[in-house]
Amino acid sequence: MPSASAACSHCQEPLPDPPPVTGEIGGRTQAFCCEGCLAVARIIRNEGLDRFYQQIDGPITTPDPLDERVRAECLHYNDQQLLDEVVQTREDGLQETWLMVDGLSCAACIWLIEHHLSGFDGLESIRINHSTQRAHLVWDPRITGLGTLLLGIRELGFQASPFRPGEWEATIRAQQKQAMIRIGIAGIAALQTMMLAYPLQFGLADGSDPAMVQLFRWASFIIATPVVLYSAVPFFQAAWRDLRNRHPGMDVPVSIAILAGYLASVQVTLMGGEHVYFESISMFTFFLALGRFLEGRTRYRAGLENLSLINAMPGTALLIGEEGETVVRARDLRPGDRIRIRPGDTLAADGRILEGQSALDESMLTGESLPVTRGPGEAVSAGTINTEHPLEVVVDQAGDNTRLSAITRLLDRAQAEKPRTQQLADRVAGGFVTAVLIAASATWLTWWFTNPDRAFPITLAVLVATCPCALSLATPTALTVATNRLRRAGFVPTRGTTLETLNTVNTVVFDKTGTLTRGQLSIAGVTPLGHTPEGACRSLAAGLEKGSEHPIARAFRTEPAAEVTDRQNHPGGGVTGTSQGCRLALGRADFVASTLGLDPPPATTDETVLAVYLASANGWLARISLDDALREDAASVVTHLHRLGWHTVLLSGDHSGQVAQVAGSLGIHHYEGRLSPETKLARIHAMETEGRQVMMVGDGLNDLPGLAGARLSVAMAGSSDIARLHADAVILGDRLSPLLEALKVAPMTRRVIRQNLTLSLVYNAAILPMAMAGWVIPWIAAAGMSASSVLVVMNALRLGRMHP
């Protein structure tokens, strides 16, 4: 099949010729890019779910092959004891949980998962929500377990992890539902009252038949009452809170207008008078509630996306007891326990190594890009990843006493001390409230002395006409549009003030590993030292490193691997193996030389780069230099920041010479290495006292205090969960350039917000004298209010397409 050899039959990645993996499926040989794709395609074919391929209209994630370790890990979660936090047992004995599913690109993926899982015994129901990418699972614990079901999803190449909808989310969901009902009622009521107001205001039901006027007023009264008593309640609550805090915001004039308009209309309905304003207050409430709802939903979705990356799976550890190893929850560990750490595991507690030697990836804690070799007696910290050999560790500190928890506490403190940004709209609102109240009192006094009969209705007209509908919509609409635009670009603001704060920042602090760099090693160059060509050296090295969790090994994953037998890891040295009867070694020069009995390799001048050597028993084969490569767009982002006149700083925990090299190649103004999380925070505080406004971009746990202490914090998508949760914004994808988009959109947003505020203030200022003079007929006030609101919304919508 010539067409199949061009692209992988499962994930559609382009394939080299000959294809790396071929397999027979449904009686035909097909080509695949990897074993993972083949395995998934086989399941799909065996279960007759081929239709998936015809229906899919998004990219298919290339799946990782499921090795025994992943299987075992999934099946752990069949164990009831580990799961009491993420799984709920219902009254009928069934269990349920929520899963976050990664890689769902279209409806076909959902269809595939639902159909595949429906073949599992014991699964009662599965429902996948397309917009939130969540699955709701219900199963019978006597027949199956969560682990088996998780494995079922993993088999198809999707990542799934249980998600515990926290209290935060449950509250927000309830609030959202209530808000929808509030908006719906206000909307329906606005339409109805406007219909009833039409004959009243245009004199169609006027004078000729007072009973008819009264009928219309009563009907409007009945319709508008739930709006005031139910739909507008959040405004009253917020206004009351503002008043108690002596910090009047937009909700105060809003509440005054709604209440005054309503009470006056009720009075007119009961005792007779000139006008009722039921339709104005209904429409007004509807507009405002809608604006608030949209703003809240944007933030809610950003929060969901952010939280969705967080794994609620309880951390586990292998406890070594008298009867062998048992899986326990990480937080049940006690000092003195002995635990086994397999390669690829994350340490669950602080401790000392009893047995074994291995390279530990400590980058999350220290920012160091290379793993550190640790042996018996040495201390290890929770949060680090074992990359090579099994270790036996005795626990010193667990739970809240680990170094990891100490950093988290520092974070909380820094967060509490953070300067608060006051929203522009709130400051404007403060002035506006005062102005309206003064104007209303002046109106009342003036008319009281000239024409006491008209004093009350005219004061009321002033309050209704100056109702800050457009003013309240000015900021939320602009923020909603800007946030949606940024989210599409890969920059997710998680707080309402993020965009405004972005305008005040003038210094950016970067972390190195995982922020400016990719956070993983890649092959920078291969220099053959013998007669073997470069390509052959690469594939031999890839064969030697196959199956290892070491970061160096990961650099070779993309290379085609040669057949290598009896592979062995030598911690702190390298790997050895045999290919075609020839002994091979890869690793540090002295290790390779002593293993194979060779003379030292030819010397090089390049000292900053990390290099490994490949040799066979017959002589040196190649020198392979490795690098934690910079992100593609790191240089252009830094250059752009400099052009904008920003000061750039690189603060890293890394001990290697790479810090200077990275700073030099990017032209970063100031850099410092070997910093602990505490000193990073101190440096940022020092910069702030110098008068700089700092934005910090980081990813690791070692950046956490710094992120919290900076005026604005941005976390990379690959960051630790806590870093993302506490950041003001998250950059999605593995590029830095969304940052530039954010810097472009932030000033535009500020401009639009200012335009909107000006626009609505001008409208209010224009209508105010007319209302004070008693010239405003209610329908003019209503039309003016709607027109100014629509204008403000349209202006905000421009943000979606605007270029600076």
Partner 1 sequence: MAILYVLVPLSLILLAIAVRVLIWAVRNDQFDDLEGPAHQILFDDDEDRIPPEARQRTETDDDTGRGNDRG
Give the residues lining the site for partner 1 (CB under 8 A): 1, 3-4, 9, 12, 26, 28, 30, 50-51, 53-56, 106-108, 110-111, 128-132, 177, 180-181, 184-185, 188-189, 192, 196, 209, 212, 215-216, 219, 222-223, 226
Number of residues written out for the chain? 804
CB 516 within 8 A of CB 703: no
CB of 164 to partner 1, least distance (A): 18
Distance CA 601, CA 529 (A): 9
Q: Using the structure block, give the residue that is written with the tokens 């769902």.
A: 104
Give 107 or 717: the residue with its C-beta nearer to partner 1.
107
The full DSSP string for 238-282 is: HHHHHHHTT---THHHHHHHHHHHHHHHHHHHHH--S---HHHHH
CB of 104 to partner 1, least distance (A): 10
Nearest to 345 by CA among 318, 375, 371, 378: 318
CB of 192 to partner 1, least distance (A): 6
CB of 208 to partner 1, least distance (A): 9
Nearest to 535 by CA among 604, 614, 619: 614
Is 511 one of the annotated active-site residues of the chain?
yes
Helix, strand, coil percentages, rounded to 5, for the chain: 50, 20, 30
The full DSSP string for 727-786 is: -SEEE-SS-STHHHHHHHHHHHHHHHHHHHHHHHHHHHHHHHHHHHTT---HHHHHHHHH
The tokens describing 393, both together, are 């560790």
CB of 215 to partner 1, least distance (A): 6
Give 54 or 605: the residue with its C-beta nearer to partner 1.
54
The tokens describing 753, both together, are 């917000």
Please give the helix or strand (H or E) that residue 127 lies within, else none.
strand 123-129
Q: Using the structure block, give the residue that is written with the tokens 């009281």.
A: 448
Give 111 or 456: the residue with its C-beta nearer to partner 1.
111
The number of helix segments (H) and strand segments (E) in the chain equals 27, 29
Would you call 613 helix, strand, or coil by DSSP?
strand
- Sort 223 into a burial class: Cβ within 10 Å, 0-12 / 13-18 / 19+: buried
Would you call 269 helix, strand, or coil by DSSP?
helix
Please give the helix or strand (H or E) that residue 95 lies within, else none.
strand 95-102
Distance CA 521, CA 545 (A): 13
Give 30 or 144: the residue with its C-beta nearer to partner 1.
30
CB of 39 to partner 1, least distance (A): 16
Distance CA 354, CA 495 (A): 46
CB of 671 to partner 1, least distance (A): 45
Q: 242, 251, 511, 628: which is the annotated catalytic residue?
A: 511
Give 102 or 140: the residue with its C-beta nearer to partner 1.
102
Give 2 or 597: the residue with its C-beta nearer to partner 1.
2
Instruction: For 153, list phi and psi in degrees, rounded to 5.
Output: -75, -40
Give 6 or 765: the residue with its C-beta nearer to partner 1.
6
Nearest to 159 by CA among 313, 358, 331: 313
CB of 54 to partner 1, least distance (A): 5
Give 97 or 220: the residue with its C-beta nearer to partner 1.
220
Question: Residues with catalytic annotation?
Answer: 511
